[in-house]
Amino acid sequence: MATPRVIVLRAPGTNCDEETAEAWRLAGARSETWHVGRLLEEPHALDLFQILTIPGGFSYGDDLGAGRIMATRLARGLGDALRRFHDRGGLLMGICNGFQVLARCGLLPGDEDDGPATLAANDSGRFEARWVTLLPRPGVSPFVGFDEPLDLPVAHGEGRFLTADPKGMEALDQAGRIVLKYADADFRPTQDYPANPNGSHLAAAGVCDPTGRVFGLMPHPERFVSPLHHPRWTRLGEALGSEGHGLKIFRGAVEALN
């Protein structure tokens, strides 16, 4: 099988692009990091890739709101290229700030019937940087093809996923499109802080579009690709396994293309 090619799109203020590119490499893909300005000049270059990733950070300093400027640039300059990419089966993932970008340029939730969505300020009113437990819901998205709970770190100030119509969240959940949920110590979805660090309704930590190929999540899978990345690795030892939990997400996408 041909090795999938991944483009990791960075912008001024992005700070997780190299880690994300390395995670894709460890998962068996061939990754390249491109500045958004370069892709805006060469939109047809997107045709050379099978996976597009928008990593975390603070694109354009989040000066007009988290991810808003980059979302505007993508929607205006790459709208046709992104639609073509999606229609031919390309996979698109947004991590943290990248999730905010996907929501604000309308790629998530991804269906006209869904209505608009956004990532609002955390209920705590502050930036949250901590480790969380997540419950996966496999079946819709190739990024989430596993059913074991996983630990991942979060680091965001605007991570509370909201739909304009409150009923939209229930519809997403019924369709299996809330594919990652914040969990408590008993591995149950929770609204309780700090296990749910931002107050997202229905414990939503990651959602996908109707095809499952567009996926956004607030936790950072690229920050846990080795057991040594876990803060309790010396105590947990072999219980962590041979690789970090976040690598499952990257591997799932690569395997879906092979």
- Residues serving a catalytic function are 96, 220, 222
Q: Which two tokens stand for residue 112?
A: 């006209």
| Among candidate residues 29, 252, 23, 254, the one with its CA nearest the CA of residue 138 | 252
Contact 223, 19 (CB under 8 A): yes
**Cα gap 207→218, rounded to integer Å:** 10
* Strand pairing class (214-217; 30-35): unpaired
E strands, the chain, where?
5-10, 30-35, 51-54, 91-95, 117-120, 128-136, 150-156, 160-163, 178-183, 204-208, 214-217
Collapsing DSSP to helix, strand or coil, 103 comes out as: helix
Q: Which two tokens stand for residue 214?
A: 């567009």
**Cα gap 213→228, rounded to integer Å:** 30
